[in-house]
Each structure stands twice: as structure tokens, then as C-alpha cells.
Amino acid sequence: MSGLTGVIAGLALAAQQAPPPPDPAAWWSPKVQRPSSEVEPLYGRRLGKAERPIPIDHGVEPLLYRLWGLQPLQSQVLRKGELILEVWARPAGDVRQAVTRLTLRDDGRAFVQARAGLGCCAPEIARRVDINAELDRASAETLRSVAADPVWSQPRSVIVDYGGGAVSALCVDGVSWDVTLLIPGQARQLRRACDDAEVGSIARILTTALGPTIGRDPRFDAIFPRGADFSRQAGAYAALIQSGGRLIPGQTSPPPAATLPPPPSPAAPEAAPRP
């Protein structure tokens, strides 16, 4: 009996010495650890009083970005000399999707954030694959030249006219693409169906985006059997132009906006890099 009494006394003492339950309010005010630049290249930026968000109408809502583990493109704040190139790939007849975002900062550093996953059948993005990495200097310089590419003067959406009339593309095989370029104060969007000539018109941009991304995770690579090789599509576009064909604006395509400014200049050598 004395043993049982001792056990009960010990439990009572332990209960008295147990730490108090955590304050529920602390759940909503945790310390936020600063993410690395690979995860969030533009972390902590806010619009100034005289600044306004850049209008972006590419069909991706801010909350959808959160599901993919990305900051919404609509909330990204760019400084002079910076840009973001974002590419969404949607294979026809498949629930797999992929998004690749390249960010060039004013200190000369560039980063890739890429995601792949299943875009249906679950409340979240199922089987999500995340890639967050810094790009090498050569890839950063290639990215810097993207803003000067004449592709941004093309209509947002197009129809292929092979010379005998225009025919809207119907994607039953292949990949359709949504491409967005963001620079300070401006955004450009291009949408291309899976027709080879359509895709070939933006082949350089797709290679720039996927080139430094492919090879970092085989699960991501599996969505792109040809990797960053768009030579077939580029050839189809060249053949279209040589044969007298053309790309004409789609029915819902707005007129091209004003010409983009020159590409950003390299950062000054004395610019202090940020973590």
C-alpha cells in the first residue's frame, strides 16, 4: 500500500512541476526566420508610397502561387536593373504542370525557383517537386539579355497562318506555354499553344528558362523528355516564315504594348552582394 501511495504522490508532484501550457497567442506570433536567397531572392521588399503594383493578367491568381510554394508574381517588387522571367508548362491531356521562375537581382546574382506537381484531384499540389538554386554567371548574363529579345513585340496569343488561312491550334498532344517577363514598371505575357510553329516563335525564351533548370531534379526533368531543346519548334517557325506563313493575333489578344526598355546593365563592381 505504501508503494501505491508513493506512486500517487510522485505523480502529483510531477503534475505540480509540469510547465504551463503554451500561450495560444504565441502560435500567431512566431519568430520568422529569414529565408535564403535561393528560396526567396526578393525577400522582405515592400512598395514605396508612390509605387503601384505592376498589372499582371496571366491567369494565375496569387493564392495559387501559395499552393506552389512561391511568392505571388503580382507582389514582387523590382528595382532598376532587375527582371523576372516566369514560364508555365501545361502538357496536353495530363494533370502534370510545371513552373519555372528566374530572377535577376541588381547585385548581379540570379536564381531559379522551379516547381512541378499534379494540378488536380487533391486540395493541394500533389507530388510537388521544389527546386531553389542560384544560377552561375553565364546563365545570369543570358537572363539579362531576355528583355531585349524581339519576341516581346509579338501578340500575346497567336493563330498560325500557313499561307492558306489561319487555323487556331487545338492541343491534343504536346505542351502549351505561358511566359511572363517582369521588369520595373512593366510586364509582358505570351501564350503559345502546342503547335510547333507557335512554340518555335518563343524557343529562345524557353531555352533560357529551362536550360539552367533541367538537370537539377530528375522528377522535374521527367516532364520534359527533350529537356531544354526546342530546335524542332524553332525550325518549324523558321519554315513557316520562309514559306510565306505568319503568326496573326488571336481573337482575344490585346495589341502589343510599347517597346520594352534596354536590358538591365550589369551591377557595378562595388555593389555589395546581399545574402
What are the angstrom distances between the C-alpha of 155 and each of 101, 149, 228, 251, 255?
A: 22, 14, 23, 11, 6
Which residue would you say has higher pLDDT here, 150 or 9? 150
Q: Which domain holds residue 149?
A: 36-249
From the list 37, 45, 108, 102, the residue with the least C-alpha distance to 76 is: 45
Q: What is the pLDDT of residue 208?
A: 97
Domain count along the chain: 1
User: Rounded to an integer, what distance in angstroms lies between the CA atom of residue 86 and that of residue 102?
Assistant: 6
- Tell me whether residue 138 is in a domain: yes
For residues 123-135, average pLDDT: 94
Tell me, yes or no, whether 24 lies in a domain.
no
Rounded Cα gap, residues 200 and 252, in angstroms: 21
What does residue 14 show for φ and ψ, rounded to 5 degrees? -65, -40
Whether 275 is covered by a domain: the verdict is no
Distance CA 189, CA 72 (A): 15
Please indicate, yes or no, if residue 88 is contained in any of the structural domains. Answer: yes
Write down the pLDDT at residue 162.
Answer: 82
In-domain check, residue 21: no
The string of pLDDT tens digits covering residues 203-261 is 999 999 999 999 999 999 999 999 999 999 999 999 999 998 999 898 766 665 555 55
Distance in angstroms (rounded) separating the CA atoms of residues 200 and 195? 8
**13: in domain:** no
Task: Give the DSSP letter of residue 157.
Answer: B
Per-residue exposure over 69-103, b if at least 16 CB sit within 10 Å of its own CB, e if not: ebbbbbebebeebbbbbbbbbbbeeeebbbbbbbb
pLDDT bin (cut points 50, 70, 90) of residue 271 is very low
- Confirm whether 259 is domain-assigned: no
Decide if 4 is inside a domain. Answer: no
Q: What is the pLDDT of residue 95?
A: 87
CA distance 60 to 65: 7
| Amino acid (one-letter) located at 226 | R
